Amino acid sequence: MSHMTFSKPIVMKFGGTSVEDAQAFERVRGIVRASADAPLVIVVSAMSYVTGALRASVRQAASGDAVAGAQMLDEHFERHTNIARALLTTESPIVEAAIASARLESAELLRSVAAQLRPLSLLQDAIISYGELLSAMLLAAVLREAGLPARYVDARRCIITDESYGCAAPLVEETAHQTCAELLPLLEAVKIPVLGGFIASSKSGETTTLGPNSSDYTAALVGAALSALEIQIWTDVTGVLTADPRVVNTARTIPHLSYAEAVELAYSGAKVLHPMTIQSAREQNIPVRICNSRLPQEAGTLVCAETEISPRTIKAIAHKTGVTIVQVTSARMRGAHGFMRSLFEIFDRHRTSVDIVTTSEVSVSLSLDDASALPAILTELRQLGTVEVENNRASICIIGKGLRGTPGIAACVFDTIRDINITLISQGASSINLTFVIDQAHICEAVARLHESFFASTLEETPPVRVLAAVMN
Ligand code: ADP
Ligand code: MG
């Protein structure tokens, strides 16, 4: 491995909305320029709506019509071309030519989809990758136009995965090795590498992707490989907020989160963070900062190892909809060995991960985020006992290290939503979260009320006290 003669780089990741149009590209240029004294690596998502359009074009082609599939992409290739024309001068023809080849190549791949020449999942990843390939190439050119020493890097040469198309798992050692080999020489030459998030390749060189919303994960993998000074996630909100801003418009920025709190939040539905991002940053103690590309001067959220004890008992409320509850009841459970193992093996076999688990003497309740394999799972579960399924549930997760030692929080939570029926409750003894499941129809109201109850006060220090007093009265 190359010897590092320069200081550790900062990895800056820009999400789809941060590169949605020419203005957004200009904002990114300003943000990068302001940090360009330090060594930088840039990771960028596809422009907003592009990944969705690419997926839809694959579906169209899979239904037999490759031409209609390709037509669905026209407006998106044009968006890239328009940005090249608006922001580039000398490089515009080269970039426009690259966009034109991407258009031809993707049309060709869509024909392979329609003709079923290769497995759909493999072709789908190859087609979807054009979103990040183009945004990264375009951003590198836009940065160069402003005199910044940016270099486009094909992320598929850095991030190496297994062959689980659509949601591939990175091979950590190969990825670290390849990332250093590709990026260190550029950093040593004082260049700014610019690579697409989300996309990767298998050892055999096929294009793969890391799963929905995973550009953050790319940033973390690159950051870990290079022992980055910091990973910055630039998005369309000012950091991690006390609740999903689409549900609670008074939600506000949380200045500090521990890795543990951030992981819980990410797994519990706060879309602003990809769970694996925090986990890989945590392994090397790399701080993660979440900032707003529209308001770059605002501090946002800093995620790092635990430092001070937060005065606030509860830091955030996360929620998830589309949750399914499965309850298995069996008299065989009582005192029988291996029951739980056979139960979980069924979910494993169908690659379905279980979120919350609660048990009683003779029954187990589990919550699932992804119920697509449920019909097959149910057939097997029925051999273990009686099975009941509840659809359209939502989970709410209350997070904060202060939950550990503060009595009365659960009482306050359940009192706040006492008229809403709760199906499952989970809180471990040393846990920093309290999770429960309700009917999806009540989710917005429940989250809004809980937020009001825990965060309404504008005085930073007082809310937990005020809330507890209310419970004790
Ligand atoms: P990007 O494209 O930049 O990766 P995402 O859409 O993945 O952006 O994540 C940002 C979005 O996450 C926000 O616009 C917001 O709607 C949503 N979100 C959900 N929960 C939270 C939260 N607790 N704090 C901030 N944003 C949240
Ligand atoms: Mg995201």
Residue 433 belongs to a domain with what CATH number? 3.30.2130.10
Buried b (16+ CB within 10 A) or exposed e, 267-277: bbbbebbbbbb
Q: Where a domain ends, among 236, 262, 284? A: 236
Span from the CA of 71 to the centroid of ligand 2 (angstroms): 27
Residues having C-beta closer than 5 Å to ion ligand 2:
213
Q: Where a domain ends, among 197, 218, 236? A: 236
Q: Give kind and range of the element (H or E) at residue 302.
A: strand 301-304
> What is the rounded distance in angstroms from the CA atom of residue 12 to the CA atom of residue 146?
18
Whether residues 201 and 335 fall in one domain: no
Ligand at minimal distance from the CA of 236 is 1
Is 261 within a domain? Answer: no
Is 5 within a domain? Answer: no
pLDDT at 410: 85
Instruction: Output the CA angle 377-323-303, nearest 5 degrees.
Output: 120
By the 10 Å C-beta count (0-12 exposed, 13-18 middle, 19+ buried), 471 is classed as middle
Is 328 within a domain? Answer: yes
CB within 8 Å of 413: residues ≥ 6 apart:
398, 434, 436, 450
**Contact between 301 and 247 (Cβ < 8 Å):** no
Is 358 within a domain? Answer: yes
Residue from 214, 234, 235 to probe ligand 1 pocket by mutation (most atoms less than 8 Å from CB):
235
Whether residues 36 and 132 fall in one domain: yes
Span from the CA of 63 to the centroid of ligand 1 (angstroms): 32
Instruction: Output the CA angle 175-179-185, nearest 5 degrees.
Output: 160
Ligand 1 nearest atom to the CA of residue 45, by list position: 2
Residue from 210, 213, 272, 454 to probe ligand 1 pocket by mutation (most atoms less than 8 Å from CB):
272
Whether residues 40 and 134 fall in one domain: yes
Whether residues 202 and 344 fall in one domain: no
Phi-psi region of 64 (alpha: psi -120 to 50; beta: other; left: phi over 0): left
Whether residues 90 and 208 fall in one domain: yes
Ligand at minimal distance from the CA of 17 is 1
Is 387 within a domain? Answer: yes
Whether residues 170 and 66 fall in one domain: yes
Whether residues 224 and 369 fall in one domain: no
- Taking only the tens of pLDDT, the chain with its 473 residues reads 445 556 899 999 999 999 999 999 999 999 999 999 999 999 999 999 999 999 999 999 999 999 999 999 999 999 999 999 999 999 999 999 999 999 999 999 999 999 999 999 999 999 999 999 999 999 999 999 999 999 999 999 999 999 999 999 999 999 999 999 999 999 999 999 999 999 999 999 999 999 999 999 999 999 999 999 999 999 999 999 999 999 999 999 999 999 999 999 999 999 999 989 999 999 999 999 999 999 999 999 999 997 665 556 789 999 999 999 999 998 877 777 788 899 999 999 998 999 999 988 889 999 999 999 999 999 999 999 999 999 999 999 999 887 777 778 888 899 999 999 998 888 875 678 899 999 999 999 999 999 999 988 654 443 333 333 333 33
Whether residues 49 and 190 fall in one domain: yes
How many CB atoms within 10 Å of residue 380?
16
Buried b (16+ CB within 10 A) or exposed e, 393-413: bbbbbbbbbbbeebebbbebb
Is 88 within a domain? Answer: yes
**Contact between 194 and 182 (Cβ < 8 Å):** no
Whether residues 93 and 231 fall in one domain: yes
Span from the CA of 348 to the centroid of ligand 1 (angstroms): 29
Ligand 1 lining (C-beta closer than 6 Å): 15-18, 45, 213, 235-237, 240-241, 243-246, 270-272, 316
Span from the CA of 424 to the centroid of ligand 1 (angstroms): 26
SS3 258: strand
Q: Give kind and range of the element (H or E) at residue 395.
A: strand 386-399
> What is the rounded distance in angstroms from the CA atom of residue 432 to the CA atom of residue 401?
5
Whether residues 231 and 326 fall in one domain: no
> What is the rounded distance in angstroms from the CA atom of residue 182 to the CA atom of residue 175?
10
> What is the rounded distance in angstroms from the CA atom of residue 371 to the CA atom of residue 220?
28
pLDDT at 6: 66
Whether residues 20 and 123 fall in one domain: yes
Q: Where a domain ends, among 185, 206, 236? A: 236
pLDDT at 464: 38
Is 349 within a domain? Answer: yes
**Contact between 298 and 238 (Cβ < 8 Å):** yes
**Contact between 152 and 136 (Cβ < 8 Å):** yes
pLDDT at 331: 83
Instruction: Output the CA angle 414-395-262, nearest 5 degrees.
Output: 100
18: containing domain: 10-236
Ligand at minimal distance from the CA of 45 is 1
pLDDT at 430: 63
Span from the CA of 468 to the centroid of ligand 2 (angstroms): 35
* Nearest alpha-carbon partner for 367 in 267, 276, 284: 267
Which tokens go with 302? 């800093």
Whether residues 21 and 136 fall in one domain: yes
pLDDT at 1: 46
Which tokens go with 215? 């550009």
Instruction: Give the closest residue (by CA) to ligand 1 atom 21.
Output: 244
Rounded to 5 degrees, φ, ψ at 131 are -60, -50
Span from the CA of 122 to the centroid of ligand 2 (angstroms): 23
Q: DSSP label at 241?
A: B
Phi-psi region of 215 (alpha: psi -120 to 50; beta: other; left: phi over 0): alpha
Q: Give kind and range of the element (H or E) at residue 180.
A: helix 172-188
* Nearest alpha-carbon partner for 325 in 360, 366, 359: 366
Span from the CA of 245 to the centroid of ligand 1 (angstroms): 8
Q: Are strands 363-368 and 354-359 parallel, antiparallel or unpaired?
A: antiparallel
Ligand at minimal distance from the CA of 233 is 1
Instruction: Give the closest residue (by CA) to ligand 1 atom 10.
Output: 272
Ligand at minimal distance from the CA of 51 is 1
CB within 8 Å of 394: residues ≥ 6 apart:
319, 320, 321, 322, 323, 437, 438, 439, 440, 442, 443
Which tokens go with 251? 């939600």
CA distance to 20, 225, 312, 455, 456, per residue, from 459 (Å): 36, 41, 11, 9, 9
Is 427 within a domain? Answer: yes
Instruction: Give the closest residue (by CA) to ligand 1 atom 11.
Output: 272
Number of domains comprising the chain: 2
Span from the CA of 16 to the centroid of ligand 1 (angstroms): 11
pLDDT at 466: 36
